[in-house]
């Protein structure tokens, strides 16, 4: 296993591992039930979703141009950003223009803004982005990072959350989840009312209609994209889908795989800014189309990871994730998908060791709603990382390789090794004071010529 | 070269036939309102009759004009109950689609702790796929149950930022 991930997992408090484990197991179970209820043929649904995503990747250029044209028709301003810093500067420019004295920006949960580290960038510029999703809010007041792409505080228990709320004076100390949620509601209402910019991600962008589709359960996403005068939506270019008909497949697949629901509480279909006959909604809507190495991934071996719809099912089912939490990976994207996506985007030389943070048990591919061949990719990454000089182990293994790749020495070893067990050894004598070793059966398991 | 040209320049399309979305849903249509109600209840909502609707309308209410009720507060922010009009219901998922037609408010189904949505009895479809086939082309939201979170130890909490109660009234013509 990756030393970095393994060391982190070993140092993790038992309390954290317990939180991550129990929540992951719960979500894995509810996923199976939900998908079975939604679909007559879950396998067929997954294969079909994968085929649609394959079509998207094969026609990405055309679909993005179509999306851009239809968004503009709907009154959405479309921007393109090559990388994180270009996206951040672009968003900063929009903030400067739209924000007067108010420095408050409300944010709906979005992985892509985590990827470009938008919050710390805006904070350095004197702005106050406020995370409004309950989990992300806790992450922000703790100065922490999300440990799961769907449930960011999977690593925290109610006592830890209660302590954070009391410390930040959100409300009186309580460990009751209902009361904590209510405190967050009251606290964040004033932020929503004060903010003139709302920033969100995008789950699906429909090329044929130019509508942006956002899913959520709490309502903070709707508030962030409806109340402020300006809404900025940030999306990775791979999130485009051909039409809205495919949403009847993708939405239940995403909700089922992520949280065990048929649909999320809210599916927001954003057409554009407030029309002349509409009573509320933002005056301006901006869409930032972000590359940030996605085109590099598209043209490489790991192209299929761009099909990911960020459901987190592969994290929940992964034995390494369950043991180490998302933080062990040291990257915004964790779990099996992160172990491929992160090095594919940022380079094998830098993050190739993540490929070893896997037991290759294959569970991630089994649960993936778009059938991304993650185990195969992890193997390929290991190979690539090894060739690039990453993941090379120390002397003990080179010794083993020296023996194992020379057939003469190997065979001699196979013959000699069983004899070694009959040699006396002080440790063995001590052990035998209380136990009996089984007798050798006399057959040689590995001898074949 | 600007960002747009550079990004599009890195993408090489391999055009093929479009994939037409097939319906994999397990839904079998029967009595749509009965199916809708059982899904709604599973999501923490419930159906209410005209009597209960009348009682609720006398509270601290923000009501859309189309509902026939009058608001007791000027701002939806101050309301405890929001009374809104839904475009149509989806039986398979127990959802109500609300859109931004004139006179409707996106926030009336979101800010108050209790959300009441009126749906005309002939405005219901069976499956989610049928729902998308007639989705309004405006800004719209598919509402499936109450606002909720399971962020704290996976414990289900209703009513985080949005309503903790969702009441649907089937309006007779």
Predicted local distance difference test score (pLDDT) of residue A449: 46
CATH of the domain at B55: 3.40.50.10420
A193-221 per-position pLDDT tens digit: 999 999 999 999 999 999 999 999 999 99
- The count of structural domains within chain B is 1
> Which of B44, B91, B149 has the most A C-beta neighbours within 10 Å, making it the best mutation to test the interface with A?
B149
Q: In terms of residue numbers, what domain contains B104?
A: 29-171
Q: CA separation (Å) from A192 to A196, A208, B45, B99?
A: 8, 32, 26, 21
Tell whether B4 is covered by a domain: no
Sign of CA dihedral A61, A110, B43, A48: positive
Residues A375, A314 contacting (CB under 8 angstroms): no
Q: How far apart are the first and last CA of chain A?
A: 33
> How far B7 CA lies from chain A's nearest CA (Å)?
7
Query: Which residues are registered as beta bridge partners of B169?
Result: B118
> Which of B65, B117, B154, B156 has the most A C-beta neighbours within 10 Å, making it the best mutation to test the interface with A?
B154
A19-68 per-position pLDDT tens digit: 999 999 999 999 999 999 999 999 999 999 999 999 999 999 999 999 99
**Contact A159/B at CB under 8 A:** no
Q: Where are the domains of chain A?
A: 1-38+318-393, 60-292
Residues in CB range of A331: below 8 A, 6 or more apart: A338, A342, A351, A354
**Closest A-chain CA to B164:** A218
Q: Tokens for A254?
A: 């995403």
A44 and B24 within 8 Å at the Cβ level: the answer is yes
> Which of B39, B92, B160, B165 has the most A C-beta neighbours within 10 Å, making it the best mutation to test the interface with A?
B160
Contacts of B1 in chain A (CB under 8 A): none
HSE (side-chain half, CA atoms, 13 Å) at B145: 25
When the pLDDT of each residue in chain A is averaged and rounded to a whole number, the result is: 92
Question: What does residue A206 show for φ and ψ, rounded to 5 degrees?
Answer: -90, 115
Assembly ipTM: 0.97
Q: Given A135, A182, A267, which is nearest B142 (Cβ)?
A: A267
B129 and A252 within 8 Å at the Cβ level: the answer is no
> How far B50 CA lies from chain A's nearest CA (Å)?
25
Tell whether B11 is covered by a domain: no
Predicted local distance difference test score (pLDDT) of residue A396: 66
B150 pLDDT tier (thresholds 50, 70, 90): very high
Tell whether B10 is covered by a domain: no
A289-339 per-position pLDDT tens digit: 999 999 999 999 999 999 999 999 999 999 999 999 999 999 999 999 999
Give the span between the Cα atoms of B71 and B63, in whole angstroms. Answer: 5
A81-125 per-position pLDDT tens digit: 999 999 999 999 999 998 777 789 999 999 999 999 999 999 999
Q: How many contacts does A have with B, using Cβ atoms within 8 A?
A: 234
Contacts of A218 in chain B (CB under 8 A): 147-149, 160-162
Residues in CB range of A377: below 8 A, 6 or more apart: A301, A302, A304, A305, A340
A141-187 per-position pLDDT tens digit: 999 999 999 999 999 999 999 999 999 999 999 999 999 999 999 99
Predicted local distance difference test score (pLDDT) of residue A413: 85
A40 and B162 within 8 Å at the Cβ level: the answer is no
Q: CA separation (Å) from A98 to A71, A136, A231?
A: 20, 24, 10
> Which of B4, B11, B42, B91 has the most A C-beta neighbours within 10 Å, making it the best mutation to test the interface with A?
B11
Mean pLDDT of the region B156-164: 96
Give the span between the Cα atoms of A384 and A378, in whole angstroms. Answer: 10
Residues in A 262-281 with any Cβ partner in B closer than 8 A: 262-272, 275, 277-281
Residues in A 36-65 with any Cβ partner in B closer than 8 A: 37-42, 44-45, 48, 51-52, 54-55, 58-62, 64-65
Q: DSSP state, A112?
A: H
Instruction: Identify the helix (H) or strand (E) that includes residue B132.
Output: helix B128-133
Task: Please count the other Cβ atoms lying within 10 Å of the Cβ belonging to residue A45.
Answer: 24
**Closest A-chain CA to B14:** A58
Predicted local distance difference test score (pLDDT) of residue A414: 81
Predicted local distance difference test score (pLDDT) of residue A447: 58
**Contact A77/B at CB under 8 A:** no
**Closest B-chain CA to A42:** B24
Predicted local distance difference test score (pLDDT) of residue A257: 97
**Contact A194/B at CB under 8 A:** no
Mean pLDDT of the region B37-57: 97
Higher pLDDT pick, B109 / A389: B109
- Helices marked H in A59-124: 60-73, 84-98, 111-115, 118-124
If you classify domain A60-292 with CATH, what class do you get?
Answer: alpha beta
Instruction: Identify the helix (H) or strand (E) that includes residue A81.
Output: strand A76-81
A82 and B159 within 8 Å at the Cβ level: the answer is no
Instruction: Identify the helix (H) or strand (E) that includes residue B143.
Output: strand B140-143
Contacts of A157 in chain B (CB under 8 A): 153
Contacts of B14 in chain A (CB under 8 A): 58-59
A329-358 per-position pLDDT tens digit: 999 999 999 999 999 999 999 999 999 999
Mapping DSSP to helix (H, G, I), strand (E, B) and coil, where does residue B83 land? Answer: strand
């Amino acid at each position: 296993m990756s030393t970095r991930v393994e060391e982190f997992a070993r140092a993790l408090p038992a309390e954290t591992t317990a939180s991550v484990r129990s929540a992951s197991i719960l979500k894995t179970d509810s996923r199976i039930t939900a998908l079975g209820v939604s679909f007559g043929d879950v396998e067929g649904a997954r294969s079909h979703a994968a085929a649609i995503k394959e079509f998207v990747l094969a026609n990405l250029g055309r679909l993005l141009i179509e999306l851009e044209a239809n968004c503009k028709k709907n009154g959405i301003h479309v921007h393109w950003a090559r990388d994180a810093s270009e996206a951040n500067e672009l968003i900063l420019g929009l903030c400067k223009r739209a924000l007067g004295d108010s420095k408050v920006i409300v944010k709906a949960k979005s992985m892509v803004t985590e990827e470009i580290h938008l919050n710390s960038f805006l904070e350095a510029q004197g702005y106050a982005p406020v995370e409004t999703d309950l989990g992300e809010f806790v992450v922000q007041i703790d100065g922490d990072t999300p440990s799961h792409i769907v449930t960011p505080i999977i690593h925290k228990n109610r006592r830890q959350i209660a302590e954070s709320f009391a410390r930040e004076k959100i409300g009186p100390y309580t460990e009751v989840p209902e009361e904590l949620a209510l405190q967050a509601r009251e606290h964040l209402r004033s932020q929503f009312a004060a903010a003139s910019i709302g920033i969100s991600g995008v789950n699906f962008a429909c090329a044929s209609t130019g509508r942006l589709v956002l899913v959520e359960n709490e309502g903070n996403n709707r508030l962030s994209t409806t109340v402020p005068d300006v809404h900025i939506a940030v999306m990775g270019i791979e999130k485009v889908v051909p039409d809205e008909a495919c949403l009847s497949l993708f939405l239940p697949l995403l909700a089922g795989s992520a949280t065990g629901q048929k649909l999320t509480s809210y599916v927001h279909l954003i057409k554009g800014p407030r029309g002349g006959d509409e009573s509320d909604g933002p005056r301006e809507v901006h869409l930032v189309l972000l590359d940030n190495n996605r085109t590099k991934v598209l043209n490489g071996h790991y192209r299929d990871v761009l099909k990911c719809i960020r459901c987190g099912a592969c994290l929940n089912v992964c034995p390494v994730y369950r043991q180490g939490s998302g933080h062990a990976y040291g990257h915004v994207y964790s779990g099996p998908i992160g172990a491929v996506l992160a090095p594919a985007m940022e380079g094998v030389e830098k993050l190739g060791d993540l490929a070893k943070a896997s037991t290759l048990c294959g569970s991630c591919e089994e649960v993936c709603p778009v059938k991304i061949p993650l185990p195969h990719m992890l193997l390929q990454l290991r190979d690539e990382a090894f060739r690039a000089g990453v993941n090379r182990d120390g002397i003990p293994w080179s010794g083993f390789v020296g023996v194992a790749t020379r057939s003469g020495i190997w065979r001699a070893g196979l013959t000699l090794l069983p004899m070694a067990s009959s040699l006396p050894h002080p440790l063995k004598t001590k052990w035998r004071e209380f136990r009996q070793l089984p007798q050798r059966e006399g057959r040689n398991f590995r001898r074949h010529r | 070269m600007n960002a747009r040209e550079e990004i599009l320049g890195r993408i090489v399309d391999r055009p093929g036939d479009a994939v037409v979305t097939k319906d994999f849903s397990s839904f079998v249509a029967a009595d749509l309102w009965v199916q809708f109600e059982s899904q709604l209840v599973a999501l923490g909502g419930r159906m209410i009759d005209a009597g209960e609707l009348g009682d609720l309308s006398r509270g601290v209410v923000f009501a859309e004009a189309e509902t026939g009720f009058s608001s007791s507060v000027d701002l939806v922010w101050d309301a405890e109950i929001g009374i809104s009009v839904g475009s149509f219901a989806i039986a398979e998922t127990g959802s109500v689609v609300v859109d931004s037609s004139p006179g409707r408010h996106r926030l009336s189904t979101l800010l108050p702790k209790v959300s009441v949505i009126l749906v005309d009895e002939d405005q219901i479809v069976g499956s989610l796929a049928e729902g998308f086939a007639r989705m309004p082309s405006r800004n719209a939201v598919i509402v499936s149950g109450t606002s909720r979170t399971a962020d704290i130890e996976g414990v289900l909490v209703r009513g985080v930022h949005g309503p903790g109660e969702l009441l649907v009234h089937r309006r007779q013509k």
